[in-house]
A and B are shown apart, each in its own frame.
Chain A
Amino acid sequence: MKKILAILLAGMMTTAALTGCAGSGGSTADKGNSNGETKTSESTGKNGVVDVADFGDEDNITLKVWAPDAAVKITKQQCEAFKELYPDKKIEITIVAQGEDTAATQMMNDPDASADVFGFCSDQLNKLVNAGVIAKCAYADQVTAANTEESLNAGIIDNKLYCYPETTNGYILVYDKRVVSDDQAKTFEGVLKACKDAGKQFIMDAGNGFYSCIFTFTGGVKLDGLEGEDNDIQKFTDYDEDTAVKTLAAFGKLFKDYKGTFTSLDVANISSGFSSGKCGAGIDGTWNAVVNEKALGDNLGVAKLPTINIDGKDVTSISMFGYKSLGVNGSSKFPRSSQILAYYLSGEECQRQRATEIGWGPTNSTVNGEDVVTQNDMLTAINEQSKNAVAQVNMSSTFWDPMKNLGNKIIAEEFKPDDTDAIKKLLDSTIANIRDE
């Protein structure tokens, strides 16, 4: 039904645009822009549909889209719908499977051979902008109006929006309801105790900066963007060293207290641990939802990250939270069409469809308030976690290895939670190394 509506709307707009266009051949772009904002502002904002005049003189368009494997099928459908929106234009779109994590590397190796519209993880934005291979977002105003602030922040560098937010990308607590009760799942201590009692593991990949940053973020050592001449030095300002050290010590102590239960393993072990019965709970990415559900079925519980007790106070865990966005190739042969397609694919309708069909958490504010999210445990948990998170953006490439190292040190045999000086030193050296000093 909605699709038909969209097509109708598009049809109407097309005629409007054609008549409007006939008179003035010149500044079509400006006109398209003003059209988008005045006449059809409502439909443009919601559905990611624009005036056909925005295409300019691009026709016989061939575009390539990179989507991760899980989304190839749905992206194909959405691209078909996109073509139907603009019947006057001859558009051909090929969808190619490409992991979002490696998209930036592929782009940088050879932009010409890469996709016109590509999905990527927000932390790679910096790299892409530095190398000048990504185009600025053309529909910045509309995109800004429609999406959550956090997701937009993940796409802004130097006050310019570079990408179209597509979905959230974070991790949450997953647990076996037979082992951990919903109440126990609220605190780290509760989860760990439940797992220990049941003789099962709690799995978290502490040897990976993406997860081990919980240790520092929770202690207030957060990322404050980038600085420096080349904009590649991570800023750390405004944190209290005592709190940070205490938090690191608390996590280290937790790991010591629950040795044998609290294990640091690749997240892939969580789902296999669930099925073999060795794992009771873990911190796992949303992308593993399908396999986890396969392993546990109805017994799968999901929640935001548990709190940790520091000095008798339950402190909320802060995680790294990423966004997946669509970018437009700066070397695209059809820059306008690519922008329009990216805008469409990141639009409300497409986000809703993805949330319903493949469980991708939306960034669109409207969709976020709808049943598809509020009635879904997983998506609700993600949304809650996103409120207690540091956006994975504006990050220097030197972040991961020192953070990984920090994680490995905290869970190491030699780590002493009481040795404040050593922890302080560890923290300082980690920050110094992230800043590449």
Chain B
Amino acid sequence: MIKSYKFKRHLANGFIYLFLIVMGIIWVSPFVYLLMHSFNGDVGGVGYQYLIPRKWSFQNYIDLFSGVGGNASLNYPRWFLNTFIVACFSCVISTISVLMVSYAFSRLRFKSRKKFINVGMILGMFPGFMTMIAIYYLLKAMGLTKTLVALVICYSAGAGLGFQISKGFFDTIPRALDEAATIDGATKNQIFWKIILPMSKPIVVYTVLTSFIGPWTDFILAKIIMGDNRDGYTVAIGLQLMTDATFKTQYYRQFLAGSVVVAIPITLLFLKMQKYYVEGVTAGGVKG
């Protein structure tokens, strides 16, 4: 009896392992393909006829960073640097904004707080790029178009609207802590910085992470803001430009290499921070 139960369980687990292995392969294989072909040293571009490259070389990466075999206007190292700078600045501003707003919504009680929360949610529901033309002209009026500053502003301006998850997290911190601190004479400001923030490592890391990744992946707003200024491009629009009809034939392999170069740091960062991500998401959502 016990034996057959065990056998059944082993059988079930075996099936699960099989399933997970097959699915794991399906999930990962596109990236393996990407990685392999970024090292493809064979001639030929887009419609390559072999699944596994016949010749291996670093040439695509060398070309990508030295700009050899191509145009000065496709300057990948520059794009990378731009994105990094924008990501750093907007990450700092966004994180601070998000934490401030969600702290205020979660811990402070003030008039029309609920209204603010509702308005915040409503604003988040308009299709984002509906407003891009207007944003462009606003930035133009400020003389900021085609600059990295404009990108930093765009990526961090609306950050405050993404308060839900961190608000959810702050809600879970017992209120007794605040009360005790207030009795000890701490101001709200001190409570925020000295008590709540140190306790909120997961959500801080989560917010930093998401706002840092944002600029690496946006390819719509940045393109409109940068216009013809290819030196100001970010990695995402730069890589998209490489898949443009004019460049695709010559730059497809470099596009693959460039994708790998962006994907690797972000992936490593993400995997490292995965724990915080899960904690952040579940803390904000689980409470339900």
Q: Which residues of A are in contact with B by a Cβ distance under 8 Å? A: 66, 68-70, 72, 96-99, 101, 106, 109-110, 112-115, 265-266, 268-269, 271-273, 275-276, 278, 287-288, 291, 295
- B228 close to A66 (CB less than 8 A): yes
Report the separation of the CA atoms of residues A70 and B246 in the bound assembly, to the nearest whole angstrom.
Answer: 10
- A113 close to B72 (CB less than 8 A): no
**Which residue in A101, A106, A272 is a CB contact (below 8 Å) of B47?**
A272
The interface residues of chain A, by DSSP majority, are classed as helix
B224 beta carbon closer than 8 Å to chain A: yes
- A278 close to B46 (CB less than 8 A): no
- B246 close to A101 (CB less than 8 A): yes
The interface residues of chain B, by DSSP majority, are classed as loop
29 inter-chain pairs at a CB distance below 8 angstroms, sorted by A residue, are A68-B246, A70-B71, A72-B71, A96-B229, A96-B230, A97-B72, A97-B230, A99-B244, A101-B245, A109-B136, A110-B136, A110-B140, A110-B145, A110-B227, A266-B47, A268-B46, A268-B245, A268-B249, A271-B45, A271-B249, A272-B44, A272-B48, A272-B249, A273-B47, A276-B42, A276-B44, A276-B49, A287-B246, A291-B249
B22 beta carbon closer than 8 Å to chain A: no
How many A-B contacts are there with CB distance less than 8 Å?
83
Task: List the B side residues contacting A295 at CB < 8 Å.
Answer: 43-44
Most chain B CB atoms below 10 A, which of A69, A114, A273: A69
B37 beta carbon closer than 8 Å to chain A: no
In the complex, how many angstroms separate the beta carbon of B53 from the nearest chain A beta carbon?
Answer: 12
- A113 close to B248 (CB less than 8 A): no
- B250 close to A272 (CB less than 8 A): no
B146 beta carbon closer than 8 Å to chain A: yes
In the complex, how many angstroms separate the beta carbon of B43 from the nearest chain A beta carbon?
Answer: 4
**Which residue in A68, A69, A72, A113 is a CB contact (below 8 Å) of B146?**
A113
Q: Say yes or no: A275-B44 contact (C-beta < 8 A), given A72-B72, A106-B228, A115-B228.
A: yes
Q: Which residues of B are in contact with A by a Cβ distance under 8 Å? A: 42-49, 71-74, 133, 136, 140, 145-146, 224, 227-230, 244-250, 252
Q: Please give me the residue from chain A that is nearest to B73 by CB atom.
A: A97
- A276 close to B48 (CB less than 8 A): yes
Report the separation of the CA atoms of residues A68 and B140 in the bound assembly, to the nearest whole angstrom.
Answer: 25
In the complex, how many angstroms separate the beta carbon of A120 from the nearest chain B beta carbon?
Answer: 13
Q: Please give me the residue from chain A that is nearest to B46 by CB atom.
A: A268
**Which residue in A72, A96, A106, A291 is a CB contact (below 8 Å) of B250?**
A291
Q: A97-B71, A272-B249 are in contact. List 11 more A-B contacts (CB 8 A).
A: A69-B74, A101-B246, A115-B228, A266-B46, A266-B47, A272-B43, A272-B46, A278-B49, A287-B246, A288-B249, A295-B44
Report the separation of the CA atoms of residues A114 and B226 in the bound assembly, to the nearest whole angstrom.
Answer: 11
